[in-house]
Structure 1
Amino acid sequence: MSVVISLTLSANTLFAQNPGRITGKVIDSKTSETLIGATVSLQGTTKGVATDVEGHYALSGVAPGKYTVLIRYIGYQTKSISDIEVKAGAATPLDVTLSQSETTALKEVVIKATYRQESVSSLYAIQKNSVSISDGISSELIRRSPDRSTSDVLKRVSGTTIQDNKFVVVRGLSDRYNTASLDGSPLPSTEPNRKAFSFDIVPSNLIDNIIISKTASPDLAGDFAGGNVQILTKDIPDQNFVSFGIGAGYNTKSTFKDFKSGYRSTSDYFGFDDGSRKLANNFPSTERIVNNQLSKNQEIQSARSLNNDFNIYTNKALPTQSYQLTVGDVKELGAAKNKLGTTVSLTYRNSQNITPNLIQRYDNYDYQSEISKFSTNIGALANFAYSFGKNKITFKNLYNRILDDQFTYRTGPNSSTSSNDNRFYAYDMLEKGLFKSTLEGDHAVGEKSKIKWNLGFSNITNDQPDQRKVNYKQSNPGDPYYATLETLGKENARFFSKLNENIYSGKVDYSLPVNLFKQSTLKLGVNSQYRDRNFNARFIGLIADRSNSTYDIDAILQRPIQTLFSPSVINAGIFDLQEISNLADRYNAHSLTNAGYAMLDSKIGEDVRVVYGLRVEKFDLKLKTQDPNQPEVKLNNTDFLPSVNFTYSLTPKANFRASYYRTLARPEFRELATFAFYDYELLATVQGEPSLKRTLIDNADIRYEFYPAAGQIFSVSAFYKKFQNAIEPIFDDRNSTTTISYFNSKSAYVYGFELEARKALDFINGSMFMKNTTAYANLSVNKSRVTNPDDGIDRLEKTRRLVGQSPYVVNAGITHTELDNKLSINLLFNRLGKRIFLAGGARFSSVYEMPRNVLDAQVGYKVFKNKGEFKLSATDILANNYSFEYELDGKPYIPSGPGNIFRRYNIGSTYSLSFNYTF
């Protein structure tokens, strides 16, 4: 016992003696530009450091206690900050703002402030001095929400919504009009059929901050109109740490309910198919199958090599589980105290979700489905940074893999085929992978010039190793069900696809002060991006051979799906191996984008700031299918993209902003490829259009913003966007199978306004309770119109909204902390107006996704001297239905069948408990 007491006292003594750190950055109070080489010293000691190329500093080896820090920089007023408390083994954050000297007198002027005052003023400066109109969210706010992925986080940003739980919509503009970057290099599209990045890939706890620029400046990529989403992950930590987290979740519609699935391998739990689903290496080529070059024995051998396990396995859906391990390390090297930082993180998440009673009605269909979805997400982040003198090199790497295995059982009539009832089975696995690596350098040249360069590589994979679909029909009530394997169609084929895309990027930015107006900075840059994609798809199926008189084919087709393709049936040669051949289903594509820009950031007088310049982008694209009769698709454009951002500082706490800028949107590879893919969930065929042109957009914005206190804001914005050749999806529903393609609209526009407010409630009364309570809300109201093409189809709608555009978006929330920040409570609300899900055609009006109220909550409590934290989270507490309905001219439209419902389902509420601990 005495040994334990002795060890405990020794540990406490060592902990008490463990020094702390003061870390932060030094910025210009008027521009928020980081100041390189500023001296930060601890008053009364010999400790002192200079800020690095990013304006960061770290005073290490500081004994616990209260201190005063002195900051000096040539041409700026010296600042003294008192009441800085350093705790044992912890890093005390302190960002500092410096103001330029008003006189050239030699006498030093020292500005005095306290720790709390300086923390407030630095946050003001960062909020107020951004170049463009932007909104963002910090890692601190992310930690206080129940959000697990970046897509969840983005829902909280003003004017931003998420579609399909992963694709971003900014200012009502769909994913094609938004772009994203991760750690300074562009993020690729993760989807084979659209321009969209799946933001559920990046776990929220790896994010340092997110900024959405809603207006353009010349140093930003020009291919956006809604928003440019910039995600920064963590590199050099403030201190060494090891953090682990574990969580489990319960869904009211899924957990512990009967979960149906197809074949499952152990490797599925780690995000990888075990290879048993994909085609064998020696599987016959398309040419041999289509040209009947296989003998019957060869067909049988090939059919046997397929995964013919069509069993339906039923288990209880397990709770959602998540795990994370993060390690941060920072070392100071040499007398110069150069810093080497490392952040490594591993994440794992698995969920088993059920969507019961999904109603789907379209044309002659009246279906009801149950969907079981097994999802595994594994991720790794490895960031390395070395800061030496006025230089910094970072090497950031992100890997993420998602495996979604979905089983669908659908029943219901299809009157167009005289079928009384159907029993449809779909076994659908999708594997998505992203590897991204970025090497970046930041170098100070002389006193105030700066060079920043970036090299990036990304690899995207999107594979469907064996999407299997089988439908059983019943002709009349009481008749047996039989598998519709008489002819091969895309509705009953086995689909194999493989997408691989490599992206190489690089850029160089150079900035230097110039003698123009009161203060100006010239920024020049060039960048390049090369994309190379290969896509391959095959539609293969086993079709009943009616010429085989040895067996009762009707009896075989009436077998249950579990034995329909049993070894005895395959070996008997009852099925023919067939393939739907279309050489346009395979394509190779590449594009090269080269850009250069020049911009000036000028302070004109004390209160006026203008950022203006020109960006030039040259884009070359080539896409070629394997069909020799189809010409190569080519795009070749050079675009001049001017922009100007004007800021007038009305008061130290308020700005007025105005902007004009030209941007563009380019068609994606998939939208240009004639590859036709049958989407069994949409009951439609998606096909590209090779004649698409790029879209040019003229944008104008105004905004008033007021910052009443640190972390608080009130802003109102208005915007207008005019589109030339807007790219929109279009429906041809004249036949029984709808085709979704794309077109360039002759005219389109979007306009709207945004309101945002974040305020502590201490204005109600001065109690500590109200001071610790903050309410926030943002509202976005948008209106758009696009003109449908005049292509000879008599469409119900001549004009309509843009697809995916919501007329309004509401986000609101309230946060409260108690017990010296140990207890935190958060309530979050989201609602968006009805938006077009599918554009209408000649027979059917547009389908609208109807509004639903989403209420989330989280309670967090810190334990073990704030090193551990329990979080109880509730997501989608109200569990409103997802409802998609036909509407025409704002009124319900009933095309056929019962009511105007296109699709309706409910995924329930999710409640989760997690624990995180940091050593």
Structure 2
Amino acid sequence: MKFKLRFLFIALFICTISIAQNKGTISGVLTDKEMNNDPLPFANVLVKGTNISVNTDVDGKYSLSVNPGNYTLIFSFLGYESKEAPVTVKANETVVVNQGLSSGSFTLKDVVVKSSAVNKQKESALLLEQKNAVDIKQSIGAQELSRKGVGDVAAAVAKTSGVSKQEGSNNVFVRGLGDRYNSTSMNGLPVPSNDPQKKNIALDLFSTDIVEYISIDKSYSSKMYGDFAGGNVDIVSKDYRGNGMFEISLGSKVNTNAVQNAGNFILQQGPNKTGFVSYGVPNNPLTGYNFENSLNPKKEAPFGGNFNLKAGKTFNIGEEGKLSLFATAGFGNGYEFREGLTRSVNAQDASLKSFQQEKFTYNTNTTGMFNANYRLNKNHKIGYNFLFVNSSEQTMDTYYGSDRDFDNADGNLYIQRGTFMQNTVYINQLLGNDKLTDKIDLDWGLSYNTVKGNMPDRIQNKMFHDPTTNIYTIAQRTATDNQRYFQDLTENETAANLAFSYKLGDKESGESKGKITAGYNGRFKKREFEAIQFNFSVSQTGQNTSVDPNNLDAFFNQTNYSNGLFTISAFAGMTPQTYEGEQNIHAGFGNIEYKFSDKLSSVLGVRYERISQTVNWRTQFDAEGGTNTFERNEFLPSIILKYALNEKQNLRFAGSKTYTLPQFKERALFIYEDVMESVIGNPSLYPSQNYNVDLKWEMFPKSDELFSVTAFGKYILDPINQIIVASATNDISFVNIGDTGYAYGVELEARKNIFEIEGEYTNKLSFGFNASLMKTHQDLDRDKVSTETKGQLAINTTDTSSGFTGASDLILNTDLSYTKNFRNDSGIMATLAYNHYSDKLYAIGNEGKGNLVDKAMGSLDLIFKTKLNKNFGIDFGARNLLNPEFKRVQENAGGDVLVFNYKKGMTFGLGMNYQF
């Protein structure tokens, strides 16, 4: 019996070996046809009609063994169109089957999203993630940014529903809520502001070359800092995938307004074309005329351009390790010109100041980024991101008109103001993800960021002009009329994220029912700011001396200083005005994400924050110096519910409590002076409290199609606003304007393919649309302001209520795109994009004056991209084709009074790129 069993076992073993030796192998590489044929990791390869399947590795490679015969392979990947390929397998042979996948006409199904399997540059993948996520969010990826010809993050977020960009500034408004109500992060870690006037960093500093995708969270969750009401913009940097690439691109652009003034385009002397300067306050400026830069404007040829390099490479390290490197460096510049009316009027429509303004602008943006992501194995990943951004803006403003303080000017007052601002940002991030067990994950991150804002040698000179003789003389009513100003800001910030998550499993099915997450966030920043202004007091003899506006060096020089034609002074001598700010936030959070059924999911969260903010100052308003500190304990609950109506439709609800912090510069007793207005801080300012609710329905007909409707509401206690205060100079300040305010509205979004011809190559016409309708309201209480500021600020608002500053009742974006691919990796893509916003409140009226309102305006852009072959492409962009007139009016009792207007002109750009 034992012999028979032994014989049977040997026979089966030999048979098994024989069968194994007769098997064949199928192998190959899957690539992404829409992303330069980069490898497609974690895709699925299935032998049709069997249970034999395998996932591609991080290089897109796969291999499987089957018995000899004829088979059909099914290639699939999340958000992509599945492909089938017939294959014949022979014994002991290897058949190579390579396949490229694209989104095509793929229809969304109820699938499970794995973060490692999603190419988040693609529109279809981002929509699929949006569909399956419990949180309410919107994302825009590299593919959509390219299609719409978007060059920076500010323009990118303005393409999403409910988001608008304020004309003439970098301010972004989310659902009618401006800079103070929003926040910015990069890879989930906070990013400091580059501007002492703003809470958020200017989003147009970030070139889309560094972006994998941008996520806009409009509903709050406990993992985010509580200083939130409008939205959080998270910039996710590129994570290179592929064997290797090197790309060079260059281009040029012109602005029609600037070109029309090519012979007379002037700028301040001193700053160079690169946007980097090294000069500052001169030695001994109070004892002699020792200033470095000339006051004489210089002429420029207003033709801009850009240059960019990108490179990426991956390396296999050991059996499981993989190192991905990506770097980009670029420089771009541009010129702009605008002219128009700028004025301020009283309640009776009489002009206080009225000028025709010409503004010449030259800007630069230098960007460098490097990131390294090391995947030790499937359980551990660590990454380092470094970003350097240097942006500069150089302007020469000329004003010609009248100022009531110069009653003898007779409308012939001439002002020159030259400003150069250099902002430099250094961002360092270390990020990690560790799978500690099958159920426990650890995500962590550290960042150290530095911001430097430098305004060296801002110049201002005022002159009287006699049009009959064409003679100019120096104008002087106060010591500050003719000045040179130096400002410097440094802010350092450290942040830390730590989060443990524990998967909740179903004992019967083994499927995950959700997870519990708990963690810590810390954010610690310090700001040092100093400014010094040198005022030139011109003697009576000097005021009677004829000067040339284009050669002021002939008057302001060492010889005339020695002869007593002018003197130089500064507040408190050479001691600058300063303020320092320190803010520390410690936060603990926890949430439970739980799937009650196949249809109903939820996230319940709670967050506790300990906040401390201190501001110290020594300024011309408080020469002895002062300090102010507040400390807060914030308890912030949140809830998000998602109900899947069917495999294509979701219903979502979100509710939360958050707060809004005042900023350092709003609480420092320091005045920022401009030609038309001055802004002063209010040390008595304190945080607002916000209550937020969202209800959203969404439908995903296909992988790249979407229809959604969202209703939202926000209730705000003690809202913070900017307002003109009752003072001799009509300064602007910041106050908790009233007890309550609210905003509510509805958002609509649609993405639809008008036609799509199926086949191996894309041939598609698509349409996108999003709109936001909203209503904002807040109470205005002058007694509250007077009491809380101890009478130091007095306001007398014209109305008892108003909308929110910066809010538009209607914001809409729409685009029409045509994409056609040909053989040999060539193709074309054309997009026509339109943006519109309705009237928006700029500033609240005071002392009988009406509100200042920016009138409705729209812009139209055309983007045309071609790819002549696999390596070479040419792009063309035409922006602001309608060239509308920007208008700001004051809504006085007698009707609207125009106080500000200009046209930006059209901008045309042409570029080319070559990828090795």
Deviation at 1:372, TM superposition (A): 0.8
CA distance in 2, matches of 1:120, 1:200: 22
Correspondence list, 1:7-26, <5 A: 22=31
Deviations 1:281-336, CA, capped at 9 Å, x for gaps: x436xxxx6xxxxxxxxx12xx2x21351112223322x20111000111112222
Structure 2 counterpart of 1:916, one-letter code: N
Deviation at 1:152, TM superposition (A): 1.2
DSSP-derived class of the 1:191 partner: coil
DSSP-derived class of the 1:254 partner: helix
Residues 98/316 of structure 1: CA separation in 2 closer, same or farther (3 Å cut): closer
DSSP-derived class of the 1:195 partner: coil
* 2:60 corresponding residue in structure 1: 59
CA distance in 2, matches of 1:219, 1:87: 46
Q: Report the TM-score when normalising by structure 2.
A: 0.83
Correspondence list, 1:381-460, <5 A: 381-389=369-377, 390-418=379-407, 419-420=409-410, 421-460=412-451
Q: Does residue 1:349 correspond to 2:332, yes or no?
A: yes
Structure 1 counterpart of 2:898, one-letter code: I
Correspondence list, 1:206-225, <5 A: 206-225=210-229
Residues 907/476 of structure 1: CA separation in 2 closer, same or farther (3 Å cut): closer
Q: Is the 8 A contact 1:268 1:403 kept in 2?
A: no
Residues 404/262 of structure 1: CA separation in 2 closer, same or farther (3 Å cut): same
* 1:772 corresponding residue in structure 2: 764
* 1:752 corresponding residue in structure 2: 745
* 2:712 corresponding residue in structure 1: 719
Deviation at 1:505, TM superposition (A): 0.5
Deviation at 1:619, TM superposition (A): 0.6
Deviation at 1:250, TM superposition (A): 2.1
* 2:855 corresponding residue in structure 1: 850
* 2:754 corresponding residue in structure 1: 761
Residues 860/771 of structure 1: CA separation in 2 closer, same or farther (3 Å cut): closer
CA distance in 2, matches of 1:540, 1:609: 63
CA distance in 2, matches of 1:92, 1:663: 43
Deviation at 1:531, TM superposition (A): 0.3
DSSP-derived class of the 1:57 partner: coil
* 1:8 corresponding residue in structure 2: none
CA distance in 2, matches of 1:903, 1:121: 43
* 1:537 corresponding residue in structure 2: 531
Question: Which runs of 5 or more residues in structure 2 are unaligned?
Answer: 1-26, 34-40, 65-70, 88-94, 113-117, 346-350, 784-793
Q: Does residue 1:152 correspond to 2:155, yes or no?
A: yes
Deviation at 1:357, TM superposition (A): 3.6
Q: Is the 8 A contact 1:212 1:230 kept in 2?
A: yes
CA distance in 2, matches of 1:325, 1:616: 44
Q: Which residue of 478, 496, 500 maps to 1:506?
A: 496
CA distance in 2, matches of 1:849, 1:456: 39
Correspondence list, 1:239-250, <5 A: 239-250=243-254
CA distance in 2, matches of 1:367, 1:344: 47
Q: Is the 8 A contact 2:837 2:856 kept in 1?
A: yes
CA distance in 1, matches of 2:720, 2:436: 44
CA distance in 2, matches of 1:87, 1:243: 30
Q: Which residue of 656, 659, 665 maps to 1:664?
A: 659
Q: Which residue of 573, 585, 588 maps to 2:577?
A: 585
Correspondence list, 1:55-454, <5 A: 57-60=58-61, 68=73, 82-83=84-85, 125-163=128-166, 164-255=168-259, 257-264=262-269, 268-275=272-279, 278-280=280-282, 282-283=283-284, 299-300=287-288, 303=289, 305-307=290-292, 309-318=294-303, 320-336=304-320, 338-362=321-345, 363-389=351-377, 390-418=379-407, 419-420=409-410, 421-454=412-445
Deviations 1:664-702, CA, capped at 9 Å, x for gaps: 11000001101011122xx11101111111111001110
DSSP-derived class of the 1:152 partner: helix
CA distance in 2, matches of 1:726, 1:592: 22
Deviations 1:75-99, CA, capped at 9 Å, x for gaps: xxxx997449999999867999998
Structure 2 counterpart of 1:523, one-letter code: T
* 1:800 corresponding residue in structure 2: 802
Deviation at 1:795, TM superposition (A): 2.2
CA distance in 2, matches of 1:149, 1:782: 27
Deviation at 1:482, TM superposition (A): 1.9
Deviations 1:594-642, CA, capped at 9 Å, x for gaps: 1111100000011000111101111111111135744421010010110
Q: Does residue 1:621 correspond to 2:613, yes or no?
A: yes
Q: Is the 8 A contact 1:308 1:565 kept in 2?
A: no
Q: Is the 8 A contact 1:241 1:328 kept in 2?
A: yes
Residues 172/755 of structure 1: CA separation in 2 closer, same or farther (3 Å cut): same
Q: Is the 8 A contact 1:662 1:696 kept in 2?
A: yes
CA distance in 2, matches of 1:433, 1:573: 40
Q: Does residue 1:640 correspond to 2:640, yes or no?
A: no
CA distance in 1, matches of 2:340, 2:199: 31
Deviation at 1:345, TM superposition (A): 0.2
Deviations 1:815-872, CA, capped at 9 Å, x for gaps: 11124471111110100011112221114211111111211111111112x3222111
Deviation at 1:447, TM superposition (A): 1.2
DSSP-derived class of the 2:257 partner: coil
Residues 673/222 of structure 1: CA separation in 2 closer, same or farther (3 Å cut): same
Q: Is the 8 A contact 2:724 2:795 kept in 1?
A: no
Q: Is the 8 A contact 2:258 2:265 kept in 1?
A: no
Q: Which residue of 646, 650, 657 maps to 1:655?
A: 650
Q: Does residue 1:874 correspond to 2:878, yes or no?
A: yes
DSSP-derived class of the 1:670 partner: helix
Deviation at 1:350, TM superposition (A): 0.9
CA distance in 2, matches of 1:154, 1:121: 18
Deviates more, 1:734-743 or 1:773-782: 734-743
Identity of aligned residues (%): 21
CA distance in 2, matches of 1:796, 1:433: 41
Deviation at 1:255, TM superposition (A): 2.4
Residues 348/67 of structure 1: CA separation in 2 closer, same or farther (3 Å cut): farther
Q: Does residue 1:824 correspond to 2:815, yes or no?
A: no
Q: Is the 8 A contact 1:181 1:187 kept in 2?
A: yes
DSSP-derived class of the 1:708 partner: coil
Residues 564/743 of structure 1: CA separation in 2 closer, same or farther (3 Å cut): farther
CA distance in 2, matches of 1:121, 1:789: 49
Residues 120/460 of structure 1: CA separation in 2 closer, same or farther (3 Å cut): closer
Deviates more, 1:82-91 or 1:476-485: 82-91
* 1:34 corresponding residue in structure 2: none
Residues 80/167 of structure 1: CA separation in 2 closer, same or farther (3 Å cut): closer
* 1:296 corresponding residue in structure 2: none
Structure 1 counterpart of 2:358, one-letter code: E
* 1:835 corresponding residue in structure 2: 840
Q: Is the 8 A contact 2:762 2:820 kept in 1?
A: no
- RMSD value, Cα: 3.6
Residues 712/574 of structure 1: CA separation in 2 closer, same or farther (3 Å cut): same
Deviates more, 1:820-829 or 1:509-518: 509-518
Q: Does residue 1:904 correspond to 2:901, yes or no?
A: yes
Residues 877/485 of structure 1: CA separation in 2 closer, same or farther (3 Å cut): same
Deviation at 1:258, TM superposition (A): 2.8
* 1:679 corresponding residue in structure 2: 674
Q: Is the 8 A contact 1:486 1:543 kept in 2?
A: no
CA distance in 2, matches of 1:740, 1:903: 21
Deviations 1:19-63, CA, capped at 9 Å, x for gaps: 855489xxxxxxxxxxxx98967879xx99989xxxx83334999
Q: Is the 8 A contact 1:692 1:744 kept in 2?
A: no
CA distance in 2, matches of 1:476, 1:743: 48
Deviation at 1:485, TM superposition (A): 4.1
Structure 2 counterpart of 1:713, one-letter code: L
CA distance in 1, matches of 2:730, 2:85: 72
Q: Is the 8 A contact 2:431 2:445 kept in 1?
A: yes
